[in-house]
Amino acid sequence: MLGVIADDVTGASDVALALRASGLRTVLYFGVPDADVAPTDGCEAVVVALKSRMAPPPYAVAESLGALRRLREHGVRQVYFKFCSTFDSTADGNIGPVLDALADALDAPAVLLTPSSPEHGRTQYEGQLFVNGVPLAESPMRHHPVTPMTDSSLPRLLRAQTDRPVELVRWGTVRAGADAVRAAVAEAAARGVRYLLADALDVDDLRALGHAAADAALTAGAAGLAGGLAHAAPGGALDTYEEKDPLAAWPAAVLSGSCSARTLQQLDVLRAQGRPVYRLDPVAEPDPAALAGRALDWYDALPPGSPAGAPVIHSSVGPGELHAVQRALGAERAAAVLEEATGRIAAGLVARGVRRVVAAGGETSGSVVAALGITGAWIGRAAAPACRGSAPRPAPASRCCSSPATSAPPTSWRPRRHRPGPNLPGPGPRLRKPLHDGPRTPPLPRPLPHPGTTPGPASHPRPYLSPSRRAPGSPGRPPSTRHPGPA
């Protein structure tokens, strides 16, 4: 059985979906489950969602080790540490400190890791992390309010967080297959290297890495490599499996606390569609209970049976407005006010009959889960790329956690109309065929660098030059004619 320790709720939902899509029956726990809670019979993967990404490193390490102990008590022998595909962290952690603690606890000689997740537009080449074809340091993540990512070099980012040796497994080795990767990992481990960041440009690369690490005690990365591990696992890529469908035709609402560029784009689309949208303003009302009360009063005033669609309650703002809120209240107080208010709103909506909650943002999703008292969930189908459906165990409501930096604009998502009413039963189990075998890879807005190129000093890969323009003796395009980016 595969055990996953994830550093936030949306990331946990994301990796759980990748495991489920590859054919593994997966259960997700929010927080370290109690000692008397055992994985469900027939479960092949267990995911533990923590809220440790932005926590102080000692807390993150303690929580991760607690999750590890509980997983090992239930027979887990292979562990996956899930971090964000944009490597969200600072020089203090938490990726490095948690990796060190888990590797020591599992006596892992060398750990293979990659944040590559082509389905979400994240790829690693020559140790550089690209977001939709753009170097990480030039993506909207450079404006992240807590962990601004101003460097695209993964080795530099990880070396700032650990004193253990870090090296690369380059794309040529990965493309050569699982045996070549295993040999590279063994050779590096013999030299005392602890962490190996592997290039990966598509699903084939991730599956090669998954097969290479199939017997490893510890691997780490985003949802992409987890899908590769699931594909290599016994029972992976099943033809059929049970699905708990959370997206039945019950009233819905959207709660968003993410301030990512993609979330702001989604909100613009929803407003343009005429969706009822309410913004939480913690500066105007800094008391969480009163702030939640205003939002619920607004919800109650919506006309019953409105055809406009699911209402949206959000605190998502651009960088300028965000900094203004943080200056007025302080960053920590502003976050605490909004998290508590969001939890109260979620509980109030469910009391009013809402049975589908779409939560955008890791902290927002964590607040919703905590407020609704949800301790675990079966993983449902994907409502959209990077939007995970889940049915709580037991189910007072269904919920969908959206990873705000990666999910698509809601151009084709049409929840049913707003219908306040009494509590309604949740959906029952259904049998469906698998969505697909492994992560899908939608096209990117801008092509990725070709593997025959070399990163330049400004993090941009040097463009491919035709033979007539290359310097004598310089490398050309590799033999493969397939585009290296997501297909």
- The pLDDT assigned to 141 comes to 87
Q: 297 pLDDT exceeds 50? A: yes
Structure confidence by residue, pLDDT tens digits, 372-404: 988 888 776 665 554 555 555 544 455 555 555
Residue range 407-425: mean pLDDT, rounded: 37
Q: Which candidate, 257, 278, 397, places its Cα nearest to that of 339?
A: 257
Comparing 142-146, 301-305, 414-418, the range with the smallest average pLDDT is 414-418
Instruction: Rounding to the nearest 10 degrees, give the CA dihedral for residues 219, 221, 226, 232.
Output: -40
Residues ≥6 apart with Cβ < 8 Å to 118: 200, 201, 202, 203, 206, 224, 439, 441, 485, 486
Contact call for residues 11 and 220 (beta carbons, < 8 A): no
- What pLDDT is recorded for position 452? 39
pLDDT tens for each residue of 261-284 = 889 999 999 999 889 999 999 999
Residue 135 has pLDDT above 70, yes or no: yes
pLDDT at 484 over 70: no
Q: Does 439 have pLDDT greater than 50?
A: no
Give the percent of the chain with pLDDT over 90. 54
pLDDT digit string, tens, across residues 191-223? 999 999 999 999 999 999 999 999 999 999 999
pLDDT of residue 420: 35
* 24, pLDDT greater than 60: yes
Residue 440 has pLDDT above 80, yes or no: no
pLDDT-based confidence at residue 477 (cuts at 50, 70, 90): very low
Determine the pLDDT at residue 483: 33
Percent of the chain beyond pLDDT 70?
73
Q: Mean pLDDT of all residues in the chain?
A: 79
CA dist 422 and 424 (Å) reads 6
pLDDT digits 0-9 by tens, 447-468: 344 443 334 333 333 333 333 3
Q: Which residues contact 131 (CB under 8 A, 6 or more apart)?
A: 86, 121, 122, 139, 140, 141
Four-residue CA torsion sign, 2, 258, 121, 465: negative
Residue 236 pLDDT > 60: no
Which is more confidently placed, 429 or 100? 100
- Here the tokens at position 244 are 């708990």
Distance of CA 292 to the CA centre of its chain: 27
Q: Which amino acid is at 272?
A: A
How do residues 96-123 score in pLDDT, each as one tens digit?
999 999 999 999 999 999 999 999 999 9
* pLDDT for the residue 380: 63
As a 3-state breakdown, the chain gives helix, strand, coil percent values, each rounded to 5, of 35, 20, 45
At residue 330 the predicted structure's pLDDT band, cuts being 50, 70 and 90, is very high
User: What is the structure's pLDDT at 356?
Assistant: 87
Arithmetic mean of pLDDT, 34-50? 81
Backbone dihedral region for residue 422 (phi beyond 0: left; psi -120 to 50: alpha; all else: beta): beta
Token pair 């109030």 in the structure block, residue: 348
Cα 361-364-368 angle, rounded to 5 deg? 130
pLDDT at 383: 55
Could you tell me the two tokens for 30? 């929010």
> In which region does residue 393 sit, left (phi positive, over 0), alpha (psi from -120 to 50) or beta (all else)?
beta
What domains can you pick out in the chain, each with its CATH number? 2-232 (3.40.50.10840), 252-379 (3.40.980.20)
Question: What is the rounded distance in angstroms from the CA atom of residue 16 to the CA atom of residue 4?
Answer: 8
> Which of 192, 196, 203 shows the shortest CA–CA distance to 182?
196
Amino acid identity of residue 354, one-letter, is V
Bond from prior residue into 132 cis (ω within 30 degrees of 0):
no
Q: Can you give the C-alpha Rg of the chain in angstroms?
A: 22
Higher-confidence residue of 414 and 103: namely: 103
DSSP label of 335: H
Whether the predicted pLDDT of 363 surpasses 90: no
pLDDT of residue 159 exceeding 90, the answer is: yes
